[in-house]
Structure 1
Amino acid sequence: MKGYPISKAVKTFGHNFAFAFLCNVCVISNMVFFLYFNRYLEELGANAAQIGLYMGVLAFGSVVVRPLVGTAIDKYGRKRLIFCGIALMILATIGYFFCRRLNWSILVVRMLHGVGFGCYITGIFTVITDDAPSTRRAKVIGVFGLSGMSTYAALPAVAEYIIAHLGFQVLFALALIFLLIALFFASPLRERGPLGIEFPPNPFLMLLSQADLLIPVGSLFFYCTGVGALLNFIAVYLAPRDISISYFFVASSTAGAIVRLFLGDLADVYGRRRVALPAFAAGCIALFWLGLFENRWELLAGGFLWGTGIGFAVPAVAASVVDRVKPQDRGKGLALFTASFDLGVMAGSFAYGIVAALIGYSQMYLVAASVMLLAVGLAFFSGTGKTNS
């Protein structure tokens, strides 16, 4: 009887889950540290529009590589893409040590960082969904997402201490160490995806003609324009108020953990659309709140609402995408899902950097919340889709 809970967990989450979870903690730790790269850019003399450009080019690199990644991951395997992605991120992180002026070298490093992350995140998500039973898919994806949420809760305070007392070079060094540890945790991952399968000439592009797939992906894009506004500008937005971003991310991570651990089955039981629709709406309200808050308690409340929304939304949309593609196309489907996420972040970074330069960060968040309403509209028209489990 003692072995039953463990065997049940393995059946639900798969043998790869623990190693993938720890690997993702390390990789996302690297990404969290670079949330503060906007402050480094500010020290170099960048304005809001330039910050948006330099921050957003990472997402651009992540997006442009997805068609190749989507095909390669189903044909050559998940693990190769994971290692390739981490290796490119290591090279990029080393490159940050040499970024001392606002010039093209920062664009190259950020682009390389994004390409590496695009390879990695598609691979690791596909490893997780390969093992997940179709009836618990949203639950598994949601719990796996806690690996990222936990780092957003724990590391901002660490990063701020390092920046204040040791400097950005030490921050870059610690970010590099996390990636080296990630390689260790990626090594035991088992390859379970389809290998050596022949595909049509343009398999990734064929997914773009699948209308029922574009609805959840399109909803995620508009939602993630708000994510781009949040991630790329919150540090510089809160700095003049002498408020740490930890307040927001601890609250959002706490809410996300509650949602994913105790309510993660809702999208599997009641349907993806019924869960995604109010989740998108919660994100809109939270971002609007962020533009108007006046004290730390209100920031905590906004963070909690944001974490609740994204805690439901991302697993529901990811599961919806996997439902709509054939098993042998799962890697391409998740490449499209993660590309939509990053494309939204990129668009938000580029566009809202210009908006912030014109009207300020507070008003920028009000505009971003309004644009996110398009995600609610698309989700409203989303059907159940076809399941290919």
Structure 2
Amino acid sequence: MKQERLWTKNFVSVAAANFFTFITFYYLLVTLPMYAMEHLHSSPSSIGLITAVFLIAAIITRPFAGKWMEKAGKYVVFLSALAILGAASFFYFLPHSLPALLLLRLLHGIGFGMATTANGAIVADLIPDSRKGEGMGYYGLTQNLAMVAGPFLGLTAMQQGATTMFAANALFALLSLAAGLFVRLPENRAARHVKLPTNKIRLLETSAIPVSLVSAFFGLMYSAIISFVSIYAKEAGFAEAANYFFIVYAGVLLLSRPFTGKWFDLYGANVIVYPAIVCFAVGTYLLSISETALLFLVSAALIGLGWGTVFPSLQTIAIQVAHPQNRGLATATFLSIFDFGFAIGSFLFGLAAAKISYSSLYFYSTFFIIAGIGLYYLLHGHSGAENSNPPVKYRKQTKVQ
């Protein structure tokens, strides 16, 4: 039987829009705190608000974005979100105080929450059901690559001055909008004839909550890595290796993605998720005992293979257990709950890092990651790999043109 196409113009366009959306996120994540301290004379204690306000706005917006897509349509919300991101990026030239910058971050966070929700819902419609795991894996890879490219480009542009830094950020936002304009979402005619119970006040997709809670738990652990790994490397005496941590991370993702996504589709989620969690735990343990740059980078490879496989797998499950008409709400639910876990983790591990060493922090995190195997089993894995596929009563109605 002929395999359904994955690499269509629409899929590539949505993936590109997602890549540039996350480029701007990670770009500003590393540059704005330094900009606020150097140019707005903000105190170190208030710098955390720059990220916190942004994430809170995104978390609150996502459930509403899922409902907006049900009413106005995914494409309308998708383009509106990219337009908000573009406008917000141009406004970064204006603020001359921290309160003004935080107000802009609030607007930017709303656009980011809408965009990531709409992107995920649209790409879920575009990927053939038979290649859902593979397609979502490649889509998730755009975020991982942006995590490497964003900080590198941001720190490089910042050396040229604030004007250059914000101009480059605005360019990336415009590229995201340009990519979105090439998307043409096909009608899912079969799904339109499915009668679903309605609930006007429902802002979360209940079927996606269990696996979303799993993602939030692992997000707690992952936040410790992305937030403190550079500081840890500097204290350990191999600061130069920190520049290559996420490059190795992304390189392993590029090499593994063609296999892990296909195996997800062929053998089910459990066959992929359990080994990936173990790989994530081993990588974090090696990070905790790293005394050389080589071991430090080996840990990056294992964390990239582990977490880089777990996250898109869980997102795919969240989408597949929901009805096709609720994919937007399922995406919003998954990302909102994950972001909440990530934000809480950044705060808690920041407090913990003030009491214990970073190596101890990563050492104890290893045991929490291993405990996540039990959490995944209880909330999803025990039901079997078949639950990673669309519910039986929907399968004949979910063919994407």
TM-score by length of structure 2 reads: 0.82
Aligned partners of 1:17, 1:201: CA distance in 2, in Å?
A: 31
Match of 1:57 in 2: 53
Instruction: Quote the offset at 1:139 in angstroms.
Output: 0.3
Match of 1:314 in 2: 311
Match for residue 89 of structure 2 among 80, 93, 96: 93
Match of 2:390 in 1: 387
Give the secondary-structure state (helix, strand or coil) at the position aligned to 1:387: coil
Instruction: Quote the offset at 1:183 in angstroms.
Output: 1.0
1:167 matched to 2:161: yes
Structure 1 159/239 Cα, relative in aligned 2: closer, same or farther at 3 Å? farther
Aligned partners of 2:88, 2:230: CA distance in 1, in Å?
A: 22
Instruction: Quote the offset at 1:36 in angstroms.
Output: 1.0
Instruction: Quote the offset at 1:331 in angstroms.
Output: 1.0
Aligned partners of 1:52, 1:290: CA distance in 2, in Å?
A: 25
Aligned partners of 2:364, 2:105: CA distance in 1, in Å?
A: 26
Instruction: Quote the offset at 1:338 in angstroms.
Output: 1.5
Match for residue 349 of structure 1 among 331, 346, 357: 346
Aligned partners of 1:204, 1:292: CA distance in 2, in Å?
A: 46
Consecutive unaligned residues of structure 2, counting only runs of 5 or more, are 396-401
Match for residue 340 of structure 1 among 334, 337, 341: 337
Match for residue 110 of structure 2 among 99, 108, 115: 115
Match of 1:3 in 2: none
Match of 2:175 in 1: 181
Letter paired with 1:157: F
Letter paired with 1:207: E
CA contact (8 A) 2:81 2:112 kept: yes
Instruction: Quote the offset at 1:92 in angstroms.
Output: 3.4
Matches within 5 A, 1:64-75: 64-75=60-71
Aligned partners of 2:16, 2:210: CA distance in 1, in Å?
A: 32
CA contact (8 A) 1:62 1:115 kept: yes
Instruction: Quote the offset at 1:322 in angstroms.
Output: 1.8
Match of 1:259 in 2: 256
1:270 matched to 2:267: yes
Give the secondary-structure state (helix, strand or coil) at the position aligned to 2:261: coil
Aligned partners of 2:355, 2:106: CA distance in 1, in Å?
A: 26
CA contact (8 A) 2:203 2:329 kept: no
Deviation by residue 1:105-159 (Cα, 9 ceiling, x = unmatched): 3433333322211111111111111022222101001112222233334454333
Instruction: Quote the offset at 1:297 in angstroms.
Output: 1.8
Tell me which moved more, 225-234 or 246-255: 225-234
TM-score by length of structure 1 reads: 0.85
Letter paired with 1:18: V
Tell me which moved more, 144-153 or 190-199: 190-199
Give the secondary-structure state (helix, strand or coil) at the position aligned to 1:12: coil
Letter paired with 1:270: Y
Matches within 5 A, 1:116-195: 116-163=111-158, 165-192=159-186
CA contact (8 A) 2:212 2:337 kept: yes
CA contact (8 A) 1:57 1:114 kept: yes
1:76 matched to 2:72: yes
1:299 matched to 2:293: no
CA contact (8 A) 1:52 1:354 kept: no
Tell me which moved more, 217-226 or 372-381: 372-381
1:12 matched to 2:6: yes
Aligned partners of 2:363, 2:103: CA distance in 1, in Å?
A: 32
Instruction: Quote the offset at 1:279 in angstroms.
Output: 1.7
Give the secondary-structure state (helix, strand or coil) at the position aligned to 1:189: coil
Aligned partners of 2:161, 2:234: CA distance in 1, in Å?
A: 16
Aligned partners of 1:159, 1:32: CA distance in 2, in Å?
A: 8
CA contact (8 A) 1:33 1:171 kept: no
Give the secondary-structure state (helix, strand or coil) at the position aligned to 2:240: coil
CA contact (8 A) 1:352 1:368 kept: no
Instruction: Quote the offset at 1:98 in angstroms.
Output: 4.5
1:36 matched to 2:30: yes
Structure 1 141/333 Cα, relative in aligned 2: closer, same or farther at 3 Å? same
Give the secondary-structure state (helix, strand or coil) at the position aligned to 1:65: helix
Instruction: Quote the offset at 1:190 in angstroms.
Output: 1.0
1:200 matched to 2:194: no
Match of 2:399 in 1: none
Structure 1 369/15 Cα, relative in aligned 2: closer, same or farther at 3 Å? same
Tell me which moved more, 137-146 or 37-46: 37-46
Structure 1 199/232 Cα, relative in aligned 2: closer, same or farther at 3 Å? farther
Instruction: Quote the offset at 1:251 in angstroms.
Output: 0.7
Letter paired with 2:252: A
Match of 1:243 in 2: 240
Aligned partners of 1:171, 1:239: CA distance in 2, in Å?
A: 25
Letter paired with 2:51: M
CA contact (8 A) 2:63 2:204 kept: no
* Aligned-residue CA RMSD (Å): 3.0
Taking only the aligned residue pairs, the percentage that are identical comes to: 23
Aligned partners of 1:67, 1:199: CA distance in 2, in Å?
A: 18
CA contact (8 A) 1:219 1:376 kept: no
Deviation by residue 1:39-98 (Cα, 9 ceiling, x = unmatched): 445655644x65444323322211111221111123322222222222332343344445
Structure 1 254/128 Cα, relative in aligned 2: closer, same or farther at 3 Å? same
